[in-house]
Amino acid sequence: MTPAALGPGVTAHLASEETLSAFGGDPWWITTIKALAIFVFLMICVLMMIMADRKVMGRMQQRHGPNRMGPFGLFQSLFDGIKLSLKEDLIPRGVDRFVYIAAPMIAAVPAFIAFSVIPIGPEVNLFGVITPLQLTDLPVAALVVLATAALGVYGFVLGGWASQSPYALLGGLRASAQVISYEIAMGLSFVAVFIMSGTLTTSGIVESQRGLWFAVLLLPSFLIYLVTMVGETNRLPFDLAEGEGEIVGGFMTEYGSMKFTMFFLAEYVNMCTVAAVSVTLFLGGWLAPPGIAAILPGANEGWWPALWWLLKFVCVMFLFIWARGSLPRVRYDQLMKLGWKVLIPIQLVWITAVAVVRMLVLDGASPLVVGVVIAAFTAATVAAFAAWLRHVRRERAEEARQRAENARRAHREPAFGGFPVPPSAAPHYGSSVLAEPPRTAPAAADRNKKGEEVTGA
């Protein structure tokens, strides 16, 4: 029986398994070279991203960025790392030392592991050995990314808990709640990609985008992924886990020197990882942009694909800088509301539509039936969006009415809306001194009379 006779779903599965045949046969020294190349690439990306963060935001804010250390300030990030490594390493009294020291490493290591399944190019000749520009691939490689992202948050939570500081604990709790809510939406974005590609291998997902990138075919999933990847990495406008205006420094409040550097490194390596995942799952991976392959023969062969991958990667990384320099920090309730009440419901409806349309196409349904189903989902989506807009307008009208009522009450009652003030006769918190008895008008009059008798007034 031929693969075609088994059905289109089985054929797609067999095609995805063929992409794994290129892995597992490399010599140990080739594997070591690729692993070291990934580590060096990520470290250089961190240094360059920190510098780009400062330079680009400096231009956006009409000021100069780093321009002293090295030509054009290129060595500023390097010297910052040296400065942090030379600072005195202090451990606060009373902390859980083992967990306190292990937390930064728990946060940083999973981010490096996730990059091992990212395809950067096709098979190339590396020192006489034909090998793919990817460390490894697995039948569930895309789930490895989600698993490592879930493990990384343990470092933030444990760091906040072990610090024995209320601000650090609040930051760790915020990080856990934020990652849970936004990782669900991120995983749902992956589901639509799995449905269309028919595989969970990252190399197979890239191959399935040769005709059309999933960023175009699955545009809602791509846009939601861009939002969730910012929330996953605790970057502005979603940096509530380390909001200095509310909780000092969040889970990093009690850390300094190299331990602080490890948390900082984990944040930027996570940025590199989620950007690389977006390129792999939605932007065609290492495939050349549309039109390039027709103009440049061999654009998807040899070492050229690594250049296309790098250009896409840089464009996605720029989005992090643009968002940080343009958008204000949201409130925590707004952050949770966006994740649970907006992104996740939209993803559930979208995945249902993608699954139904994909099933009809694989079953050979007529274009008319597929068009009717798409039109029905579109109409239902538009109706739901209109109902949501009406609900938002009612909420805003109610909020405006409440604000007007509060303003009228504040005008009539000067004490309305102020901070609660404890009574002057209340005992001090934690003090054994009894409260002073209330001063009544007769007692005050008796004291005045006694004063007059003593002075002879």
Give Cα separations from 144 to 50, 78, 114, 116, 334 (angstroms): 27, 31, 7, 10, 30
Whole-number mean pLDDT of the chain? 79
- What dihedral angle (degrees, nearest 10) is formed by the CA atoms of 330, 334, 339, 340? 170
Q: What is the mean pLDDT of residues 421-446?
A: 53
pTM of the model: 0.78
Tens digits of residue pLDDT in 29-53: 888 888 899 889 988 888 888 888 8
List phi, psi (to 5°) of 283: -110, 25
Q: Domain segments of the chain: what residues?
A: 22-289+298-353, 364-409
pLDDT over 80 at 418, yes or no: no
Q: Given pLDDT bands bounded at 50, 70 and 90, which one contains residue 94?
A: confident
Please report the pLDDT score of residue 420 as a whole number: 60
User: In the predicted model, is pLDDT for residue 20 greater than 80?
Assistant: no
Q: Is pLDDT at 257 greater than 80 in this prediction?
A: no
Whether the bond between 166 and the residue before it is cis, its omega within 30 degrees of 0, is no
The pLDDT score that the predictor gives to residue 48 is 84
**Residue 451's pLDDT is what?**
53
pLDDT reported for residue 313 = 92
352-372 pLDDT tens trace:
888 888 888 888 878 888 888
